[in-house]
Structures are given as C-alpha cells and as structure tokens.
C-alpha cells in the first residue's frame, strides 16, 4: 500500500468539510478526486500533502515515498528561460554529468597510472547516471516541454514574460520531470489545449508511479484513472474504475438510496397515522401504546434524502424566432496580429440546428475567429454574412454583464420581465440555483456560479444563434452536465470553442478544426472526428498510386459519407434520449408497482384502479421506447 487515508475530519469554523474520510492507494494506481465546487477536493489534496492539517485522522505514506505536488504558485525565476527553468528538475543529473566529465579528465591525465579508487568512483557514478536516465535527460526535457505546448523557438523566452497559465505549465513540466513516486495534481488541464491534454493523459497513463488528480475533465479522467475518490456532502467514497464506470455506479447507488429513503418515509407516515389513531381512542391502554410507538419512532435513524437525480431537471429550449436555413457564411477571412498571421482565406458555412465546435491548439486564432463573427474584432479581409432572422447571443468568460447588487432572482426577472415567478425559479433550478440560493446577490457568487448565471441568461434570450467561448471554464462536473442538457435540447444553432472533449462529444454535431491556419470540417461528435482524422491521416501517408485511387473513390463517395456521418450523429442523439427516457419510465414503473404492492393500497379499489391503469400505460410506453431503441441500435 502506497498511501492510506483514515478517518480524516476537517472543519472550517463550525462548517464541516470532511468527515470520516477514508481511502487507500496502491503502487502505480491512478486516482481521480471528484465532486462539485466547494465540496472539499482541494482541502483533501492539501491534507494529503501536509499543507493543511486535518482536525483528526491520519495520512500514512509508504516508507521512502516522495510526493510531488503541482502548485500554481511555485516560484519560477523570472530571468530564467523556459528550458533552463524546466532543466532545474534534472539538476542532480547534470551535476553528476559534470563530475563524470571531471573524472574522465583526471583518468585521461593519469593514463595507465590512474588509481583504482578513481576508476571505481567513475564506474559507480556512470552506472548511477545511466540508471537515472542521464543520457536521455535533455531529450526528456524537450519532449515534456513540447508535449505541454512550448515550441523549441520559445525555449529561451524568460519566465517573467509568461502568462499565469504558461507559468503553471512550466511548473507542471518541472514536476513531471522530477518523476516522484506519487504525483498530486490540482486541475492540471486548466491551461492546456486539447493536444497538450492528450499528451498529458498518455504520460500519466504510462507513468510508473501513482497519481492523484483533481479534475473536472471527464474525458481526461476516462482515459487513464483506475479509481475515483468522490467528495460529497463531507463524505469520502471510493469507487474502482474510470469516470464513466463511477458515474454508472453512482447512478445505481443513488437509485437504491432513494428507494430506501422513500420506503422509510412511507413507514414513518404509517407509524404516525397509527399513533394518531391510537391517541384518538383516548383510552389509557391505547395512549400507552401510542407513546411506546412514538419512542420507537424517535429512536429511528432517519435516512437523508439523496440528492435529486439530475435527469429530472431536463428542459426544452426553443428560440422565439426561427432563423433561415443558412445561419452564417464566412468567405475569404484573414486575420493577423503584427507579423503573426493567424489564418488566411478561411471559408465555411453553418446551417440552422447545427452545434459546431471549433477546436485547435492555443494561439491558433479560435477566440479571434469567434470575436470577428460576433463583430467585436475586425478582419484584414473577408466577408461575414448572417442569414435571415438570425439573432446572435455571445458568451465570453471575460464579458459577463451582471448587476452586482441584484439577487439571482432579480437578475433574471429584470432581463426577462415576461417570465412568471415559477419560470424564473425553474430556470435557476435547472442551473443548480435552488431554495434560498435565488436570493443571493450576484456580488457574492464564485466564478463558476457567475458563469452558470450568465449562461442561464443567455439561454433564455431571444437569440437563435449562440456563440460561446469556453463555456465550461470554471464549471464543475454537475454544472457541465446541466449545460450539456441545455444545449442538447436547444433547437437553435450553436457555434462554440471548447477544450472539453467530453462536452464536445455530448453536444457537437459537427467539428471545425483550426490547424496551421487551415480550417477542416468533420461531421459528427468528437469520437467521429478522431476516427475520420485518423482515416484521413492514413490516407495521406499511403503510397502515391494507392492514394490516387483512394482519393478518386473518396470523391465519388464524399457526399454519401457526409450524409451517413450526419445520420449517425442524429441516431446517436436519438438513442441517448431514448435511453434517458427509458430510465425515467422504468424508475416510475418500479415506484408504481411498489405502491400497488402496499397492503393498504391493494385492498382499496379506488386507490388501486388508477395505479393499475398507470402501470399498464407505463409498460406500453416502455415497450414502444425499447422497440424504437432496438431498431435504431440495429
């Protein structure tokens, strides 16, 4: 066992953050810590590193284990170049290399008279140098920096001139290069583009040590973690498997908890009714029995209601005005900043109902392209034409137009006075603002909460063409799922930039990749994009004659393939929605069947008849949904 965490308790003031936290980590295991914002994930990580003391409990590391921690505030030397700073992680090897060079010089000068002790020292040091990968150290530094998005022409750039995100990437490169037995990472993908995230997940998957990572990137977690540690309402629960396995186990566990809770509530109501009846008899014997039942009920350990299953918060979004079939046409677009040409002669169209994801490495011009389309930035050349009745709504993390003194309820009420109180509360609830949350003022909201509120306002707007720049930034997993549900049900058109591959996979019907100034279109979701890109890459590397034949065939089938990809995407979306509908219907059917099995109900015809009718109707609906699902699967 590499790490053991037992009975961890932590409170801040009177607020408990962690209670009875327990989990363990074996050698080479890769674990994710998940939970909503504010659940205590970072606190747990700080307790593991010793940065924050626990109120009680213990954290035990195996003997000799060196944990490596990514801190976004690691001190980087401002006057050091990027490569020089990263190379500090291998300082011990480079000192060893210098000593080897000195020993070689001494041996050469002594020639055949070199002392045995000198030769032994050289032999042992060289063996240790090889064992620690000394001869590959420089290429390893280069590989890690390139993997994290630094090209070689930037290796000499001073750290003092870097942005906060770039400094975090340099700090991450130093941590990975030290190769500790245990790596602890807090949101390592926040400042990485898709290419760098793909490189990092491969690095961590193959890493010989253990890893604990806090992340909201579900696709990233699916690719390499073998264990999920969930922090929820102060409890710490351990699950085996990647994120998708955890999500399914969590769904099943929540269903069981809900059934137990409902069963207990039914029993409590039955006991309370029995107590009330006994008291109504107003006899000494019946009153004593009532008091006895009350004592037993008072000692009952009552179950907490599990958090509502988020499927219940699905809602449909329809623009007030339907746009024309062609929503956006971009022709011959070019943009440069100083001597740097971002792109030249870009042309593409977006049709009504499409959800287009714009992807590409950092610095390729994705945000600039969105801002040009939205009229916030001028191009060097080109034409942008919006279709008939197109109304644009733009979301940018840096441009959230919120009134600080308003409550959340007032913020939506002022923006959309025609909405009823129920509609305002329903929309806020859909974006996870429930109960007294709606009376919070905007000024006290966290970054993630402000993002959710801004997105709720935008989704409710009369716009029919949403342009979103990194909409999932600062959102936890629950909030991302809510946004996915909202966009998936949105009947307007969406054009967005995102590095969240799971989000793209759930929402995109088409992907535009901006790479080296060239825009390439792929039909379907992110998995379709990977498959199609791999096919195109294989085709491009084929011998010339084979390539010519394949291109000829591909040209003949291009239209059919494009239509097939679009149809596959539509089928996947429909299948997902059928599965979600089936889950809801089956859960409702199970509840109805349990209620019918209640002896009190079974003997009451007036209560049993509507339940029987509903049960039959649900079974027919489930059969019809399953038949359609089976047909689409084939």
Q: What is the DSSP string of 96-150?
A: HHHHHHHHHHHHHHHGGG--HHHHHHHHHHHHHHHHTTGGGHHHHHHHHHHHTT-
Ramachandran category for residue 107: left, alpha or beta (phi over 0 → left; psi -120 to 50 → alpha): alpha
pLDDT for position 451? 83
Nearest to 415 by CA among 459, 480, 375: 459
Write down the residue that tokens 């020993």 correspond to. Answer: 103
Burial class of 289 by CB neighbour count within 10 A (0 to 12, 13 to 18, 19+): middle
620: its two tokens:
């027919």
pLDDT of residue 427: 84
Contact 427, 412 (CB under 8 A): yes
Pairing of strands 510-515, 355-359: parallel
Q: What is the mean pLDDT of each run of 10 residues along the chain (634 residues)?
A: 89 85 89 87 88 89 86 74 94 93 86 78 91 92 93 92 86 92 90 88 92 92 93 88 91 86 90 87 83 88 70 57 92 90 93 94 89 91 94 78 90 89 85 86 84 84 90 82 84 92 93 92 93 81 58 60 71 80 82 80 74 82 79 74
Query: Which residues, listed in sequence order, are joined to residue 185 by a DSSP beta bridge?
Result: 213
Buried b (16+ CB within 10 A) or exposed e, 377-394: eebeebeeebbeebbbbb
Residue 153 has a CB neighbour count (10 Å cut-off) of 7
Q: How confident is the model at residue 152, as a pLDDT?
A: 92
Determine phi and psi for 352, rounding to 5 degrees.
Answer: -60, 135
Look at residue 309 in the predicted model and tell me its pLDDT: 46
Within 431-500, residue ranges assigned H as helices are: 447-460, 477-489
Q: How many Å apart are CA 224 and CA 188, to the nearest integer?
A: 14
> What whole-number distance in Å separates Cα of residue 184 and Cα of residue 171?
13
Tokens standing for residue 139? 């290429």
Report d(CA 438, CA 563) in Å as an integer.
45
CA atoms of 463 and 455, how far apart (whole Å): 13
Distances (CA, A) of 15 to 9, 40, 47, 234: 11, 11, 17, 10
What does the block give as tokens for 154?
Answer: 């930037």
Contact 244, 38 (CB under 8 A): no
d(CA 133, CA 622): 60
- Determine the pLDDT at residue 440: 92
- Whether this prediction's pTM lies above 0.75 is answered by no
Quick: pLDDT tens for 541-577: 665 555 565 555 556 666 666 667 667 777 877 887 8
| Token pair 């994009």: residue | 529
């Amino acid at each position: 066992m590499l790490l053991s965490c037992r009975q961890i308790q932590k409170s801040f003031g009177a607020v408990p953050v962690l209670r009875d936290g327990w989990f363990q980590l074996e050698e080479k295991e890769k674990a994710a810590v998940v939970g909503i914002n504010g659940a205590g994930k970072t606190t747990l990580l700080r307790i593991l590193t010793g940065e924050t003391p626990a109120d009680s409990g213990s954290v035990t590391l195996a003997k000799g284990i060196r944990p490596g921690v990514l801190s976004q505030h690691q001190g980087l030397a401002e006057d050091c170049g990027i490569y020089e700073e990263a190379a500090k992680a291998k300082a011990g090897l480079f000192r060893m290399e210098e000593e080897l060079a000195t020993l070689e010089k001494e041996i050469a000068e002594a020639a055949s008279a070199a002392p045995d002790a000198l030769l032994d020292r050289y032999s042992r040091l060289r063996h240790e140098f090889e064992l620690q990968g000394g001869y590959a150290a420089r290429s390893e530094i280069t590989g890690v920096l390139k993997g994290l998005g630094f090209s070689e022409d930037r290796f000499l750039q001073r750290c003092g001139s870097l942005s906060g995100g770039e400094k975090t990437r340099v700090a991450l490169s130093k941590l990975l290069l030290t190769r500790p037995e245990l790596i602890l990472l807090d949101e390592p993908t926040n400042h990485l583009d898709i290419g760098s995230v793909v490189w990092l997940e491969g690095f961590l998957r193959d890493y010989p040590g253990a890893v604990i990572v806090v992340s909201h990137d579900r696709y990233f977690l699916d690719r390499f973690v073998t264990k999920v540690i969930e922090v929820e309402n102060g409890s710490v629960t351990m699950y085996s498997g990647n994120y998708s396995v955890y999500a399914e186990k969590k769904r099943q566990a929540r269903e069981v908890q809900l059934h137990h809770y409902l069963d207990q509530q039914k029993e409590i109501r039955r006991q309370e009714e029995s107590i009330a009846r006994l008291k109504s008899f107003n006899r000494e014997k019946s009153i004593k029995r009532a008091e006895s039942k009350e004592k037993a009920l008072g000692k009952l350990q009552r179950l907490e209601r599990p958090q509502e299953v988020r499927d219940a918060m699905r809602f449909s979004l329809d623009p007030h005005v339907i746009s024309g079939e062609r929503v956006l046409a971009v022709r011959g677009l070019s943009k440069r900043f100083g001597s740097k040409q971002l792109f030249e002669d870009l042309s593409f169209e977006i049709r009504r109902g499409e959800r287009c994801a714009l992807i590409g490495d950092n610095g390729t011009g994705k945000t600039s392209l969105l801002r040009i389309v939205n009229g916030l930035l001028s191009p060097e050349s080109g034409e942008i034409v919006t279709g008939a009745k197109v109304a644009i709504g733009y979301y940018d993390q840096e441009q959230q137009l919120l009134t600080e003194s308003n409550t959340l309820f007032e913020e939506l009420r002022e923006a959309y006075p025609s909405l009823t109180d129920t509609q305002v509360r329903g929309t806020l609830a859909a974006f996870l603002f429930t109960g007294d949350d709606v009376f919070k003022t905007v000024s006290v909201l966290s970054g993630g909460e402000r993002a959710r509120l801004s997105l709720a306002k935008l989704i409710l707007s009369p716009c029919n063409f949403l342009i979103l720049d990194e909409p999932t930034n600062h959102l936890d997993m629950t909030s991302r799922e809510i946004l996915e549900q909202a966009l998936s049900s949105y009947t307007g058109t969406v054009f967005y930039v995102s590095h969240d591959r799971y989000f793209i996979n759930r929402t995109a019907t088409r992907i535009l990749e901006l790479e080296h100034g060239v825009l390439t279109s792929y039909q379907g979701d992110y998995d379709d994009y990977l498959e199609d890109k791999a096919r195109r890459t294989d085709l491009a590397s084929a011998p010339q004659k084979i390539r010519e034949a394949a291109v000829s065939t591909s040209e003949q089938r291009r239209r059919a393939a494009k239509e097939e990809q679009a149809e596959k995407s539509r089928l996947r979306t429909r299948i997902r929605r059928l599965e979600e509908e089936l889950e809801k219907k089956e859960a409702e059917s199970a509840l109805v069947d349990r209620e019918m099995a209640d002896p009190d109900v079974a003997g009451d015809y007036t209560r049993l008849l509507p339940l029987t009718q509903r049960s039959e109707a649900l079974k027919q609906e489930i059969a019809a949904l399953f038949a359609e699902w089976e047909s689409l699967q084939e």
